[in-house]
Structure 1
Amino acid sequence: MRLPRPTIRALAATAVLGVTLTGCTGHARPAADADNPDAAVRVVTTTEILADLVRQVGGNRVQVDSIVPPGGDPHSYEPTPKDADAVSKADVTFTNHLLLEEHALIKTIDSNAREGTPNVSLAEASETYGANVIPLVENIGLDVIWLGLRVRGEGEDRGATRSSDVLLSATEVRGPGDLVAYLTESLGRPAIYFNSADGFTAHDTTSLPPAAHTHLNWAFTEPGVYKLTLEAKLKNPGGTPQPIGKGTFTFAVGVDPHTVAGPKDTILDDGHTDLTVNIDNGRMSAFTDLRTDGKEQEEIPPGDVVIDVPNRALDKVPSGEQFAFLGRPGAEIYQLPQAVLGKHVHGEIDPHLWQDVQNTKAYVQLIRDTLKKQDAKGAAAYDTNTRKYEGRLDSLDGYVRDRIAEIPADRRQLITTHDAFGYLADAYGMTVAGFVVPNPAQEPSAGDVEKLSRTIKNLGVPAVFMEPNLVQRATVLTQVAKDQHVKVCMLYGDAFDEHTRHYTDMMRHNADELLSCLGGGKQ
């Protein structure tokens, strides 16, 4: 569902100062630009892609640091004290945001940027420069409901900013067994959010940024009816948590939900639903697309829904000490899977705007105007550099369009490890046919492999695609590709690597790789 345009503009204005640093240590510091005695402006960006764009506009008048290092993933990078120090010395900071970056990284930027210096979220502000903003469409074909957690609204009347935290706590559960909500990270490590086995305490709390949602597994140890109460609080930078809302949700686990639901209740048994708090009005709800065939979502009060956890959701506790919190290995549990492996907190708008080259022009124009305000003496240079680079981007846009147009229409199907190519597909006439969705609670099952195999076979795709920085997540994809005798190719999504250091090179590679792997063309 597309966010209203005023909401996107409001998000762009939420850079704040004064948050306590929450980054951890242990990451190597990315290399900065060589000392530039002519630099008039010191710039910090979150990613190398943004740093490259700033260098193209700024030339020798800027010195640029990227916080996320080469090959790093902005979705998961945890900032260090050195990162905070770099931000504190910057004259300008650029983030992508729209929840692309890890929340701790955004908080580090906002809490350490010097007062009065520009702190710009490019994706959120670029719409005013003509960028095309599209919803993040997640169409995961599960045979049970896909259930997550969500925060809606901006919370302006409550003083919320993009650095705020919304705390969601499980405070009570009534039912015949234990309830556990947990997230399986990309390498299979579980992170427990709520676990009723030892009673709910303050530890049964998770946090999300405003306007975000996350995927979770929901496990139940016994069949029956469960009633889970969630409470939400808003914690603004430097403040104490403020109560927002409270709601109790009903689950029918291994029993007929119609025997639980009242005559006016909605049974949620398919599609995508999030247990949601709206920080504008304080209401809790089940935010679901069940009754609209995925076309849009609606809020249903907690007391008016029954969430179906059917017998086909029966699973077995996997072996390994890391899953001992679910019970003994091999024991039966009822589980709604999180669908997408790994921590995947995001909003309703796809943040990967740069995969459409025309959107990158909007980024470049916004960078130009920001640098001109900070360094008026360099205005002419910034204008000249931008005009030259826009010409290169127009040529690049034509190149990408022409290369993809050579791919037969029935082969323009993208199957990837990461849902990062919606803008590329939308701008250049492709279709995102699927991305990896293994069962997060255990090693990928035969059913998972069969589902992906069937998609590849039915579409007749000759290749699947992984990103260089996400190779570790591609086990299912590579196995299926091997079994189906299709190629595994590389597309750049969020990050550069040692082979590709510029945005224009990245997009040319992507266009060439798509043609070579899907259309049989020669690079």
Structure 2
Amino acid sequence: MKRLLAATMLLGAVAGCSPPPALSDADGRVQVVTTTGILADLVRNVGGERVLVDSIVPDSADAHAYEPTLRDVRNIVYADLAFSNYLLLEAQNVIKALDANLPDGVEQISLAEGATKYAAEIIPLVEDVSLDTVWLGLRVHGDGAHLGADRTSDVRLTATAADGPGRLTAYLTESFGNPDVFVDSGDGFDPANGYRDDTAVLPPEAHTHMSWAFSEAGAYRLTLRAQLAVSADSRPVPMGERTLTFAVGVDPHTVPGMAGATVLRGGHTDITADLDSGDIHLLADDKRLDPARTVIEVPAKALREVPAGPGLRFLGRPGTRVYQLPQAVLGRHVHGEIDPHLWQDVRNAQAYAELIRDSLIAADPAGTATYRANTDRYLRELTALDDYVRERITAIPAPSRYLVTTHDAFAYLAKAYGMVIAGFVTPNPAVEPSLADRRRLTETLRNLRVRAVFLEPNLRARSSTLVEVARQEGVRVCDIYGDAFDDRVTDYVAMMRFNADSLARCLT
């Protein structure tokens, strides 16, 4: 399989279902569909008995990777109102299924974006840039609205040619180690099929990490073409073609034709298709670079052995040595520029509730008094919750308020309640962590005297390295909830109270 993030839409999945008029539940309740269980819980608290709520992503599932089912589509078709978080929290197929199947005239509310009008605070998504080599990902800049694009549109980044002394491979490793290859120069490039086998697909304003592997040392060049598909049946809009240069295991200053070029050695760099300017450039830690005047260094220290197992055989036999720029974060980690996990600050959840209230009133004016009363009650409950979380975390000694987790979902909690994000780990089960990776984590735990690390229960399978190092250092391993409920924690208030108690108990 060589398609990255290719969306399979569930259009027309419910044969013969014609959406009924508003307030379509048999007893007159407003039928609401949300993307996640957390949003569903907020809607139930505001809507009370006047609403019937279904969540697309079930409890314990990962909203970043969930694939909608036919049952989900049926719930969408019959909805009177829909709520998503967005800011690219949900998998793109969830958003496409929602937007494509809502009845005409039914409103879809993006809570994370709309809540800013209700005093919600947003913060940039900041990622750790401490790897020893470049993090080289793919990005789409701009929303393409001036071209008619919306959040269901696709930008296609296509590799059309490559040259170098060996094989160049770019791929994404999914959450459980399954590779999804974007480009493989070893099997050529086929213009007859539109280079479909070497095309990555991303929505507007999105970003994803990648792994890059090279079989031999030397200079490589890769030509990429970008196109915007406004809709599934529209003719793609061309956005230019550029060539990238890599210096693999050799002095980057000696690459022919690149004298005086900028050399990228570290940090976070994205190959960026820019919908605003209509071209391709490199975005290196917010600095825009011209690919024609830039060399991406893949140093000799990037040499790795292909691990055993069939998953990475496309790189070579186990034990074969390849130069690798590793994927920064495991899995289909597509995101935007703003951290989407706003609800980890209870005051942001209050803004969500107010937006939900006003949206329900617009859809069901007869329920205005009920929605206002329910919201007032819930806001008082959330104010008490905010005080509780603050009190519990404030009781933790300041030198112990370091948070090390499996997933970058807690920046809002840290900012609102005085924690410090010391690190997050998303290990790649297909590749053994390097000694440098383990040493860095070990030094973080030792130098900061971290008392505990925190795992999200639904991501426990991805956390073996963190658990091993924590146990080696005598550090506790505790639970924390990010964006999914389970049988133990079934609502938002319980989730935030659990997190506050877990932090206080394990870090004090």
TM-score normalised according to structure 2 size:
0.93
Match of 2:384 in 1: 395
Q: Cα 1:20–1:486, aligned 2, differ >3 Å: closer, same or farther?
A: closer
1:225 alignment partner AA: A
Gaps of 5+ in 2: 1-7, 15-23, 191-195
Match of 1:82 in 2: 71
Match of 1:249 in 2: 244
**Correspondence 1:378-457 to 2 at 5 A:** 378-438=367-427, 442-457=431-446
Determine which of 199, 223, 226 is the counterpart of 1:229.
223
Question: What are the superposed Cα offsets for residues 25-69 of structure 1, whole Å, 9 maximum, x if unpaired?
Answer: 9xxxxxxxxx97544310000111000000000000000001111
2:53 alignment partner AA: V
Are residues 1:324 and 2:313 paired?
yes
Are residues 1:272 and 2:283 paired?
no
Offset of residue 441 of structure 1: 5.0
Determine which of 162, 165, 169 is the counterpart of 1:173.
162
Secondary structure in structure 2 of the residue aligned to 1:172: strand
Q: Cα 1:84–1:24, aligned 2, differ >3 Å: closer, same or farther?
A: closer
Offset of residue 139 of structure 1: 1.4
Question: What are the superposed Cα offsets for residues 358-393 of structure 1, whole Å, 9 maximum, x if unpaired?
Answer: 001110011001000000000111011111111111
State whether residues 38 and 61 of structure 1, in contact with CA within 8 Å, keep that contact through their aligned partners in structure 2.
no
Match of 1:281 in 2: 277
State whether residues 88 and 112 of structure 1, in contact with CA within 8 Å, keep that contact through their aligned partners in structure 2.
yes
Quick one: distance in 1 between partners of 2:262 and 2:435? 33
State whether residues 42 and 91 of structure 1, in contact with CA within 8 Å, keep that contact through their aligned partners in structure 2.
yes
Match of 2:466 in 1: 477
Quick one: distance in 2 between partners of 1:262 and 1:500? 57
RMSD: 1.8
State percent identity of aligned pairs: 55
Total equivalences in the alignment: 485
Match of 1:492 in 2: 481
Quick one: distance in 1 between partners of 2:496 and 2:58? 19
State whether residues 152 and 278 of structure 1, in contact with CA within 8 Å, keep that contact through their aligned partners in structure 2.
yes
Match of 1:186 in 2: 175
Quick one: distance in 1 between partners of 2:163 and 2:434? 32
Quick one: distance in 1 between partners of 2:430 and 2:189? 22
Question: What are the superposed Cα offsets for residues 140-191 of structure 1, whole Å, 9 maximum, x if unpaired?
Answer: 3111111101000110121111111111111111211110001111211111
Determine which of 162, 181, 204 is the counterpart of 2:151.
162
Secondary structure in structure 2 of the residue aligned to 1:203: helix
Question: What are the superposed Cα offsets for residues 490-523 of structure 1, whole Å, 9 maximum, x if unpaired?
Answer: 111010000111101110110011000001xxxx
2:241 alignment partner AA: K
Quick one: distance in 2 between partners of 1:469 and 1:21? 26
Offset of residue 440 of structure 1: 6.3
Question: What are the superposed Cα offsets for residues 418-467 of structure 1, whole Å, 9 maximum, x if unpaired?
Answer: 00000000111111111115356512344332221111111101100001
Q: Cα 1:23–1:424, aligned 2, differ >3 Å: closer, same or farther?
A: farther
State whether residues 339 and 438 of structure 1, in contact with CA within 8 Å, keep that contact through their aligned partners in structure 2.
no
Match of 2:128 in 1: 139
Determine which of 330, 334, 350 is the counterpart of 2:339.
350
2:217 alignment partner AA: P
Secondary structure in structure 1 of the residue aligned to 2:197: coil
Offset of residue 237 of structure 1: 2.5
State whether residues 11 and 101 of structure 2, in contact with CA within 8 Å, keep that contact through their aligned partners in structure 1.
no
Determine which of 229, 244, 254 is the counterpart of 1:259.
254
**Correspondence 1:14-163 to 2 at 5 A:** 20-21=9-10, 38-163=27-152
1:192 alignment partner AA: V
Question: What are the superposed Cα offsets for residues 234-271 of structure 1, whole Å, 9 maximum, x if unpaired?
Answer: 11223232222211111111110112274542111111
Quick one: distance in 2 between partners of 1:108 and 1:149? 24
Quick one: distance in 2 between partners of 1:211 and 1:425? 25
Q: Cα 1:441–1:20, aligned 2, differ >3 Å: closer, same or farther?
A: closer
1:64 alignment partner AA: V
Offset of residue 229 of structure 1: 0.7
Question: What are the superposed Cα offsets for residues 264-313 of structure 1, whole Å, 9 maximum, x if unpaired?
Answer: 42111111000111012211111002xxxxxxx02112112110001011
Quick one: distance in 2 between partners of 1:23 and 1:186? 29
Match of 2:502 in 1: 513
Quick one: distance in 2 between partners of 1:24 and 1:386? 35
Secondary structure in structure 2 of the residue aligned to 1:84: helix
Structure 1 stretch displaced more, 423-432 or 235-244: 235-244
Structure 1 stretch displaced more, 150-159 or 38-47: 38-47
Q: Cα 1:184–1:20, aligned 2, differ >3 Å: closer, same or farther?
A: closer
Quick one: distance in 2 between partners of 1:475 and 1:453? 14
Quick one: distance in 2 between partners of 1:340 and 1:59? 39
Gaps of 5+ in 1: 1-18, 26-34, 290-296
State whether residues 23 and 105 of structure 1, in contact with CA within 8 Å, keep that contact through their aligned partners in structure 2.
no
1:123 alignment partner AA: A
Determine which of 289, 292, 316 is the counterpart of 1:303.
292
Secondary structure in structure 1 of the residue aligned to 2:106: coil
Q: Cα 1:93–1:339, aligned 2, differ >3 Å: closer, same or farther?
A: same
State whether residues 38 and 60 of structure 1, in contact with CA within 8 Å, keep that contact through their aligned partners in structure 2.
no
Quick one: distance in 2 between partners of 1:442 and 1:176? 25
Q: Cα 1:374–1:101, aligned 2, differ >3 Å: closer, same or farther?
A: same
Quick one: distance in 2 between partners of 1:227 and 1:298? 22
Quick one: distance in 1 between partners of 2:12 and 2:209? 23
